[in-house]
Amino acid sequence: KQEVTQIPAALSVPEGENLVLNCSFTDSAIYNLQWFRQDPGKGLTSLLLIQSSQREQTSGRLNASLDKSSGRSTLYIAASQPGDSATYLCAVTSNTGKLIFGQGTTLQVKP
Amino acid sequence: DGGITQSPKYLFRKEGQNVTLSCEQNLNHDAMYWYRQDPGQGLRLIYYSQIVNDFQKGDIAEGYSVSREKKESFPLTVTSAQKNPTAFYLCASSPSEGRMGEQFFGPGTRLTVL
């Protein structure tokens, strides 16, 4: 059974710092991996989607990497800003199209 | 203005009551999903529907029911059989010809049992 784990559960950094969020999954037979952002009490916004054949995707200050063989993904946020404060969720898509989510990492960026 | 709407934003239920959460999309997506989110946890799949008049159970379907009579609408009923319904409920949809797993989420409904 696929399990997705995100470490750490919470992270607090000063503004301007570069940071890395981690995601690991137990079954490497995935179709793709996504990173989402969730603001308190809100729905999910898709940030990056990495296909299983890709190694990384970039969008602005965000860079996500994927290492299928080791079951790991990282989300790198450059020059963090207070507006980046949110919960970041990682999800893998199984070959049946089902999304399996991690528990999320809650990020606080202090001014 | 395309998107997914969920209503109400907040819902309170008394013990023994059934309540229905609304989810509507005007994105012309074929597939729709319902997830439950508990504090400090990821999303868990309740039910999903890939086509009108058809739906399948997800991982935690007990105590819930759905219908898919129209492409645009996928209401979720939380029945009295659901013993711990207090949670944040998220609806999502995806196009049949989009990237597999790419889902678009609504703003959510927070359900509280009194």
Where residue B2 falls among pLDDT bands split at 50, 70, 90?
low
pLDDT on residue B100? 76
Burial of B52 (0-12, 13-18, 19+ CB in 10 A): middle
pLDDT of B98 > 80? The answer is no
Contact A97 B104 (CB under 8 A): no
The three-state secondary structure class of A26 is coil
CA distance to A37, A91, B66, per residue, from B23 (Å): 21, 22, 11
Min mean pLDDT across A84-88, B56-60, B79-83, B105-109 is at: B79-83
Residue A41: list chain B partners with CB under 8 A.
Answer: 88, 108, 110
The three-state secondary structure class of A29 is coil
CA distance to A13, A39, A62, B72, per residue, from A109 (Å): 5, 13, 15, 38
CA dihedral B97, B98, B100, B102 (to 10 degrees): -150
pLDDT of B96 > 80? The answer is no
Where residue B42 falls among pLDDT bands split at 50, 70, 90?
confident
Interface of A with B in 47-86 (CB under 8 A): 49, 51
Q: Give A2-35 pLDDT, tens digit per residue.
A: 999 999 999 999 999 999 999 999 999 999 999 9
Amino acid sitting at position A44: L
A28 neighbors A71 (Cβ within 8 angstroms) = yes
Q: Give A43-101 pLDDT, tens digit per residue.
A: 999 999 999 999 999 999 999 999 999 999 999 999 999 999 999 999 999 887 889 99
Q: Is A99 on the interface with B (CB under 8 A)?
A: yes
Exposure string for B16-28, b = 16+ CB within 10 A, e = fewer: eeebebebbbeee
State which residue of chain A sits closest to B32, comparing Cα positions.
Answer: A98
- For CA atoms A27, B37, B41, A66, the dihedral sign is positive
Closest approach of B5 to chain A, Cα-based (Å)? 10
> Which of B49, B34, B40, B41 is CA-nearest to residue B82?
B34
When the pLDDT of each residue in chain B is averaged and rounded to a whole number, the result is: 92
pLDDT of B67 > 60? The answer is yes
Q: Which residue has the tokens 């080791």?
A: A70
pLDDT on residue A72? 97
pLDDT on residue A20? 97
